[in-house]
Amino acid sequence: MVLQVGNEFPEVILKYIPYDSAQSEECGLPQVLDTKKDFAGKKVVIFGLPGAFTPTCSAQHLPLYVAKAEAIKAKGVDRIVCVSSNDYFVLDAWGKQNKVKDKITMASDANGELGRATGLSLDLSKMGMGSQRLTRFAAIVVDGKVTHLSVEPNPGE
């Protein structure tokens, strides 16, 4: 199944390390983000990327969301979630490098569960990046239902 507008967002357990201003260098303890429970009754912007610290994602994608986070939340968005195929420690470090702070939840799909559940996975093994990466996408999820979805048209090119 490929995720579409009108679908329920699949229930997946992701992990993230919450922002803590007292921990500028070290990592905190990972927390669970349950997309069913934590998206219920909320308006969420979730965007997926193939990898943290990759040139395009680092130069264009994450910085754009960080810069526009306040404007996005001003439109009634309760939470912005960045999800990538890296582990939560890597995402925490990438968030710190990009001064994400508490603007965006940096969530890990290291096991590829979200990619498989949404049909938005990408095989980048020919590039040495593994066979379970997320394609670039952005979705608006309102009370668990996808109301907008944009997917990169030619991933991996």
Q: Where are the alpha helices (DSSP H) in 3-141?
A: 35-39, 55-56, 62-73, 88-97, 113-118
Is 27 part of the annotated catalytic residue set? no
- Main-chain phi, psi angles of 67, to 5 degrees: -65, -35
Looking at 57, 120, 124, 139, which residue is catalytic? 57
- Main-chain phi, psi angles of 133, to 5 degrees: -110, 155
Token pair 């993230």 in the structure block, residue: 16
Q: What angle do CA 23, 137, 63 make, to 5 degrees?
A: 40
- Please identify every residue annotated as catalytic: 57
